[in-house]
Amino acid sequence: MLLLVGLGNPGEKYKRHRHNVGFMAVDAIADAHGFAPSRKKFQGDLREGEIGGLKAIALKPATYMNDSGQSVGAAMRFYKLTPADVIVFHDELDLAAGKVKAKLGGGNAGHNGLRSIDEHIGNEFRRVRIGIGHPGDKTRVTGHVLGEFAKSDYDWLDRLLAAMAKAASFLADGDARFATAVARELAPQKEKRAVKPVAGETP
pLDDT tens track for 101-115? 999 998 888 899 999
- Residue-by-residue DSSP string for 34-89: TPPPPEEETTEEEEEEEETTEEEEEEEE-S-GGGHHHHHHHHHHHTT--GGGEEEE
pLDDT of residue 202: 46
- Do 88 and 125 touch, CB atoms closer than 8 A? yes
The pTM (predicted TM-score) of the whole model is 0.90
User: Residue 198 pLDDT > 80, yes or no?
Assistant: no
Where do the domains of the chain lie? 2-186
Q: What is the mean pLDDT of residues 160-188?
A: 90
pLDDT at 3: 98
Helices (H), the chain: 21-32, 68-78, 112-121, 141-145, 154-167, 175-186
pLDDT bucket at 195, cuts 50 / 70 / 90: very low
Does residue 28 register a pLDDT over 90?
yes
The superfamily (CATH) of domain 2-186 is Peptidyl-tRNA hydrolase (3.40.50.1470)
- Say what the pLDDT of residue 77 is: 97
Q: Is 19 a catalytic residue?
A: yes
In this predicted model, what pLDDT tens digit does every residue of 155-170 receive, in sequence order? 999 999 999 999 999 9
Among the listed residues 17, 19, 33, 90, the single catalytic one is 19
Give, rounded to a whole angstrom, the gap between the first and last alpha carbons of the chain. 52
Q: Per residue in 41-79, pLDDT tens?
A: 999 999 999 998 899 999 999 999 999 999 999 999 999
- Would you state the pLDDT for residue 5? 98
pLDDT of residue 189: 60
Query: What pLDDT shows up at residue 203?
Result: 43
